[in-house]
A and B are shown apart, each in its own frame.
Chain A
C-alpha cells in the first residue's frame, strides 16, 4: 500500500500533466483527421472518376506502411526543407507542429477508407428509392447514406484513435511532450517506475477512448438499427 502511495506521490503530478498533453494531442489530431477524411471519403465515394479516386486513396495508403517513428522524424525533415525553400524560419521544426502533422497523417487513412467503404456499401436500391421519393442529393446524403455508413465511419475513427494514442508516445522525441516523455526518460535511465508511469496511462487511455467511442457510436446509431432484438 505504501509503495503505491509513494509511486503516486513521486510521479502523480507528472503523470497527470503528461496524460493531459497526450489526450489533447490525440484528440486534436483525430478531430483534424475526421474533419479532413470524412468529407473527403464522402466526396470520393460519390465521385465518378475512378482514376481520381484511385490516386487519392493511393496517396493516403502510402503513408500507412511508413514506420511511425520514421514518419515523425520525416515530418521534422519536411518542415526543415520547407523552411529552407522559403528562406525564412516559417515553421518550428520541433514541438507540437510537426508532431500534429505526423499524427494527423497517420490517423487519416482508416477514417478515409472506412467512410469511403461505408458510403459505397449502401444498397443502391435504397438510394434509388430515396431519389424516387423526392429527396435531394443533400437529404439522401445526410438522412440515408451517412446514417447507414455510420458504423463503418465510427470503426475507422476508433482504429485511428487507438493508433494515434500509440504514435503520440513517440512525438516526445521531437519535443511535443505527452506520456512518451516519461517512457523515454524511464528507459534511458532504466527507472522501471518511471516507465510504468508513462506506459500505464497510455494503455488505459487507449482502452478508455475505445470504449467511449463505442458508447458514442451507440448513441449516434439511427433508431432503426438500435433495438436489435425483436421485442
Chain B
C-alpha cells in the first residue's frame, strides 16, 4: 500500500533526517515508527503526505509515486491526526470533523450523517458534542475528536503523529484500547509515530525502530522484543523489556503443565482467555475476577483451563530471562515489584 524505496531527506544545511529508508506498509496494517526525538520518525511520516518532500528515493502509495501527484489531492485521501493541539480552535467539533468532507464537496446531509456516526464510533454522544468548541473538551475528548476527524472522509490510509502523546497515563491507555478495538473494525492502513516503546508494541502490527534517520529494525513486536537486531534496539527496549515480554508473549507460551483440560462449561462463560491473549492481559483478568482458573477458548473451541499459579510461574520465568538478557540493568526488578 505504501512503499518507501531508498528514501532520503537531507536538509540544505546537510542534516540527514532520514537516510536510505526502505520499507513497505501492507494494506490494513498498523506500522509504528518508533524512535527518540530526532530519529526521523516524524519526518518519515510527513513525507507520505508531502508535508515534507523527500530529497532522494521514491515513495509509492498504491503503486503511484507521490511526487507525480498533486499534494492537495494526495492529502485529502490520507487521514492525518496529531496531538490534541491540532484541532481548529475556532471551529466546533462538528466543523472540525467536516473539514475534509467539505473539501471533497460531499453533500451536507452525508457530512452530517458521517459526523454523527464518527462521534458515536469514538464514544462521544453527538447531541452533546457536535456544537462544542475545542476548548470545551478534555484532553481525551479532544483526542477522540482528532481521531474522528482523521477518519472523516474514510481515507484508506491514516497518519498518526503521537496521537495519544499529550494525555495522562490512564486516559492514554483507555484511548489506546479503544483505538485497537476501532482499528480491528475499520481496517485502515496506519502509520503511527511514537517515542514510547510500550505503546509501539501495543499498537503495532509491525514496529520500525529508527535512530538518526536509519532503520534499526523492522519486525513484529514479539520479534523486536525477543530478538533485538543490534545493540541499539537492545538498549532502546531497556528497562521495559519485562513489561514488553509480558505484552508480546501469549497464553500459548505458558507450559502445558499450566493448561489443564478441566470441565468444558455448557455455555460459554463471560470471562475467558484465548491462546493469543497476552500474559499481561491474562494476569489482568485474574486480578479482576479473583478466579483461580480461567477457561481458554480458541475461536469458539474450548481448549482447557488456565491456572493462575501456572501463569505466575511463567511470568517468573520471563522475568528471569529478561534479567539475564539485560545484564546489569536493574530495570527489570523495578517492574517485578509492580507485579507481585
On A, residues with C-beta under 8 Å from B are 123, 125-126, 128-136, 139, 144, 147-148, 222-227, 230-231
Contacts and interface: CB of A to CB of B under 8 A. Distances in A.
Contacts of B124: none
Nearest to B80: A132
Contacts, number: 74
B66 to A, nearest CB: 13
Contact of A148 (B51, B89, B100, B132): B89
A222 B91 contact: yes
Interface string B46-89: 10010100000000000000000000111111001010011011
A134 B103 contact: yes
Contact count band on B? 20 to 34
Contacts of A227: 131, 133
B149 to A, nearest CB: 8
B131 to A, nearest CB: 8
A133 B100 contact: yes
B72 A144 contact: no
Given A133-B100, A134-B100, A224 B85 contact: no
Nearest to A151: B90
Closest 5 CB pairs of A and B: A134-B75, A134-B76, A222-B90, A132-B80, A224-B133
B136 A132 contact: no
A128 to B, nearest CB: 7
Contact of B92 (A130, A135, A224): A224
Contact of A224 (B51, B82, B91, B100): B91
Contact of B88 (A136, A144, A226): A144
Contacts of A230: 132, 136
Interface string B11-32: 0000000000000000000000
A125 B82 contact: yes
Contacts of A123: 85, 89
Interface of B: 46, 49, 51, 72-77, 80, 82, 85-86, 88-92, 95-96, 99-100, 103, 131-134, 136, 159
Contact of A126 (B76, B86, B159): B86
Nearest to A229: B136
Nearest to A147: B90
A125 B165 CA distance: 15
B91 A223 contact: yes
Contact of B75 (A133, A147, A223, A226): A133
B157 to A, nearest CB: 12
A224 B93 CA distance: 8
Contacts of A224: 88-92, 95-96, 133-134
Nearest to A137: B72
B68 to A, nearest CB: 17
A139 B103 contact: yes
Given A133-B75, A133-B76, A223-B91, 6 more contacts: A125-B86, A126-B85, A132-B51, A135-B72, A144-B90, A222-B91
B136 A126 contact: no
Contact of B90 (A128, A139, A225): A225
30 contacts: A123-B85, A125-B82, A125-B85, A125-B86, A126-B88, A126-B89, A128-B51, A131-B51, A132-B46, A132-B75, A133-B75, A133-B76, A133-B100, A133-B103, A134-B72, A134-B76, A134-B100, A139-B103, A144-B88, A144-B90, A148-B90, A222-B90, A222-B91, A223-B91, A223-B92, A223-B131, A223-B133, A224-B88, A224-B89, A224-B134
